[in-house]
Amino acid sequence: MSAGFQIAPVKHMKHILLALSLFLSSHVTGQDLSLRPPASSGQVLTYTSTNKGDPPSVLFIAIDDLNDWVGCLDSHPQVKTPNIDALAARGTLFTNAHCQAPICNPSRTSVMTGLRPSTTGVYGLAPWFRTVDEWKDLVTLPQHFSNAGYQTYTVGKIYHGRNWNSQGVKEFDVVGETDPGLSPKEKRVTTPRGGRGMDWAVYPYKESDHKDWKTASWAVEQLDRGPKDPFFMAVGFALPHVPLLATQKWFDLYPEDEVILPRMLLDDRRDTPRFSWYLHWKLPEPRQKFLLQEGEQIKIVQAYLASVSFVDSQVGRVLNALERNDLADDTIVVLWSDHGYHLGEKQITGKNTLWDRSARVPLVFAGPGVTEGKKSSRPAELLDMYPTLSELCGLEIPDHLEGLSLVPQLNDATASRTRPAITTDNHDNHGVRTEQWRYIQYADGSEELYDMVKDPNEFTNLAGHPRYSAEKLTLRKQLPKINREPVPGSARRILIYENGVANWEGEDIDPNEAIPD
């Protein structure tokens, strides 16, 4: 594929100008593509319950496909997330937190089992990990709390898929059943590879008709009734996973002619290995080329921002119920996202990459045992939530866990960490993230290296420069020692590399084949 970029006819004059400005910016000046530049030791606490001797409860909030566009993370200058920001202000925010896989099923499997994808062998949207003999009896995070006497609740998307609760294993004590909500009868956007979810538009119904509203309502009802104490309540929101649908009032926060695009280069893949494309070879998520040609680049960013603000409002409803029912002082709240999402950066939309836009996620702890108003830049992993919550609640930490407790950083945000954060995308493709570096090694041995202090947008791949050999060697030593091949039943977004041949979802990739649009 040529490093250049041919711009086909676009539908609207402002997008013609946008595409032209991006092209000129990238090829003439070498500057980034944002329309405007973005805005630019703690006290040791111990848990003291207001109910003497009682362990704290846990409110476990998951948000689907939320990248680092959250107000308190200072990643997008316009995003409005007052409820998440307020939660971070009363707790500790990890500004360098990363998922273990940039796709739903392996990421959530890792969170709930406490194991890396390279250990479980779960890399795709299938299988459900309980179908793997080795993991069918593994004690997951909610089971661990249930075994310790907690009443466990769940609603919305915590595990991936719809049928996990019908597999004969009790994952939670109480499973919330909610109305799926109303979905638009027609799509606004027609994307090259289709897919009903590939859409972004104003939600044509009432907010209360959206499934995330119904998820929040169920959680609020349980908190108003008074859940059994202590409780572990997992609440999973769907947005900003596509389709990006929010009511008009949320779009009004981000007028289309004022939307600020993320920083990007039009030909940002000129110095990335060809293998990087194999991680998202053929997917429903459209390329940036489509967005520019069809006048959708600004619109998808607007819809994503609107969706983020809407889901933040639903987080606020749940947190308000916790406070209103006098439960906040004795409840640890942890908020996280399973992975990020590209909106044109690196010439794609979607996830399935090892760069920060896919890997970096919000991670917030608040409540008893957590220092207030602190930010930690230490590398953190979603994998760390299992041991952290166990320690905060006085539970034994299971031996099988591969994560490390974040309690030292919750006591002192500057406390050191002994290792970086690792993200894995399919078999033997890994990203290593420290406070300064992102190092990527693909299954074919090709590499990327970015100085995240000088180059936070990952524009310049330094891996080919001899002067950085020592840094690469140090980071390479951090790669997972276990690299299990995909387990039986692996499917949907599976990439295999064997004997010099890459295979995407069952089809070999011709090394001379053009990069798919």
Q: How many Å apart are CA 459 and CA 404, to the nearest integer?
A: 31
In this prediction, residue 53 carries a pLDDT of 64
Binned at pLDDT 50, 70 and 90, residue 369 comes out as very high
pLDDT at 25 over 50: no
Q: Which of 15, 98, 144, 160 is an active site residue?
A: 160
Which domains occur in the chain, in start order? 58-417 (3.40.720.10)
Binned at pLDDT 50, 70 and 90, residue 38 comes out as very low
**CB of 396 within 8 A of CB of 390?**
yes
129-164 pLDDT, tens digit each: 999 999 999 999 999 999 999 999 999 999 987 666
**CB of 103 within 8 A of CB of 493?**
yes
52 or 293: which leads in pLDDT = 293
In this prediction, residue 88 carries a pLDDT of 98
In this prediction, residue 80 carries a pLDDT of 98
| Average pLDDT of the residues in 219-241 | 97
Binned at pLDDT 50, 70 and 90, residue 230 comes out as very high
Lowest mean pLDDT among 93-102, 188-197, 216-225: 188-197
295-352 pLDDT, tens digit each: 999 999 999 999 999 999 999 999 999 999 999 999 999 999 999 999 999 999 999 9
Q: What secondary structure letter does DSSP report for 47? A: -
CA distance to 106, 135, 353, 492, per residue, from 487 (Å): 12, 11, 21, 13
pLDDT at 8 over 80: no
Tokens 């002619």, residue? Answer: 257
Active site residue 342: no
Active site residue 160: yes
CB atoms within 10 A of CB 442: 25
Q: Which helix (H) or strand (E) holds 214?
A: helix 211-225
CA angle 164, 166, 171 (to 5 degrees): 60
In this prediction, residue 17 carries a pLDDT of 52
402-417 pLDDT, tens digit each: 999 999 999 999 999 9
**CB of 97 within 8 A of CB of 381?**
yes
Q: The dihedral of CA 200, 201, 204, 210: what is its sign?
A: positive
Q: How many Å apart are CA 197 and CA 449, to the nearest integer?
A: 33
Q: Which of 72, 76, 98, 104 is an active site residue?
A: 104
